[in-house]
Amino acid sequence: MKKKATTEVPINDVIAQRWSPRAFDPNYIIEDDSIKSLFEAARWAPSCYGDQPWQFILFNKKDATSWTRALNCLSIGNQNWAMDASILIVVCANKNFNHNNEPNQWAHYDTGAAGENICLQATSMDLSAHQMGGFDKEKIRNLSNIPINFDILACMVVGKKLDESKLSKIQKDKEGQVRSRKKLKDIYFINEWK
Ligand SMILES: Cc1cc2nc3c(=O)[nH]c(=O)nc-3n(C[C@H](O)[C@H](O)[C@H](O)COP(=O)(O)O)c2cc1C
133 lines ligand 1 (CB under 6 A): yes
* Residue 181 domain-assigned (yes or no): no
Range of the domain at 67: 13-164
Q: Indicate whether 119 belongs to any domain.
A: yes
pTM passes above 0.85:
yes
The CATH number of the domain holding residue 28 is: 3.40.109.10
3 state SS for the chain = CCCCCCCCCCCCHHHHHCCCCCCECCCCCCCHHHHHHHHHHHHCCCCHHHCCCEEEEEEECCCHHHHHHHHCCECHHHHHHHCCCCEEEEEEEECECCCCCCECCCHHHHHHHHHHHHHHHHHHCCCEEEEECCECHHHHHHHHCCCCCEEEEEEEEEECECCHHHCCHHHHHHHCCCCCCCCHHHCCCCCCCC
pLDDT tens-digit readout, 44-95:
999 999 999 999 999 999 999 999 999 999 999 999 999 999 999 999 999 9
Whether 181 is in the pocket of ligand 1, judged by its Cβ within 6 Å, is no
CB-ligand 1 contact for 135 (6 Å cutoff): no
* 6-28 confidence digits (pLDDT tens): 999 999 999 999 999 999 999 99
